[in-house]
């Protein structure tokens, strides 16, 4: 190959790098469109198991809205790395959305939960479960905790919502050793 061909190929490296940086946010945005479609299908059906894409092994379980930021997300059943790549995910051993207890939802801080960096005590969140019940929650507590902290999984004697994401927001995911934990109580 001539040197000019190598130079042309070398010029493509920044393009491919730039595209790879955009991959996760683009995947998250595209997934939300498919999740929104699946959510609507599930809400119109007696069965609540319409997968967002044919290979998905999860289904939408809730829709979370943050009024102050005018944003909403479809929440997937099952908190694991695979689901987190597509959207906020509900921890299955926590309370089901809008049921008595502590409902735990997590998402990445560089995509879906990036807006939580601006969250303030008193802000309102709305959670709609897949039965159509919508309840409002008010942020009561915002904490920064160690990544090994497990108090977020506490059993409660009320109906609450716990959101968490990596912290601080400026660091790459592998460097985050803290978590932003937001507790919102039913109002």
Q: Encode pLDDT of 166-182 as tens digits.
A: 888 876 556 678 999 99
Number of domains observed in the structure of the chain: 1
Compute φ and ψ for 69, nearest 5 degrees: -95, 0
Q: How far apart are CA 158 and CA 137, in angstroms?
A: 12
- CATH number, position 31: 2.40.260.10
Q: Is the per-residue pLDDT at 135 higher than 90?
A: yes
Domain extent for 99: 3-186
Q: How far apart are CA 37 and CA 147, in angstroms?
A: 34
For the entire predicted model, the pTM comes to 0.81
Q: Determine contact, residues 103/90, Cβ cutoff 8 Å.
A: yes
Q: Is the per-residue pLDDT at 57 higher than 60?
A: yes
């Amino acid at each position: 190959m001539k040197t000019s061909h190598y130079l042309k190929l070398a010029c493509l490296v920044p393009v491919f790098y730039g595209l790879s940086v955009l991959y996760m946010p683009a995947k998250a945005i595209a997934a939300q469109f498919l999740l929104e479609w699946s959510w609507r299908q599930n809400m119109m059906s007696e069965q609540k198991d319409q997968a967002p894409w044919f290979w998905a092994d999860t289904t939408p379980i809730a829709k979370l809205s943050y009024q102050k930021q005018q944003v909403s997300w479809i929440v997937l059943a099952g908190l694991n790395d695979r689901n987190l790549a597509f959207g906020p995910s509900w921890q299955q051993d926590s309370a089901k959305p809008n049921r008595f207890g502590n409902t735990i939802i997590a998402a990445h801080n560089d995509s879906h939960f990036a807006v939580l960096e601006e969250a303030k005590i008193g802000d309102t969140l709305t959670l709609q479960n897949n039965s159509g019940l919508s309840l409002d929650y008010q942020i009561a507590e915002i904490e920064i905790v160690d990544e090994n902290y497990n108090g977020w999984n506490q059993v409660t004697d009320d109906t609450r919502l716990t959101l968490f994401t990596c912290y601080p927001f400026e660091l790459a995911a592998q460097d985050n050793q803290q978590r932003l934990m937001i507790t919102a109580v039913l109002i």
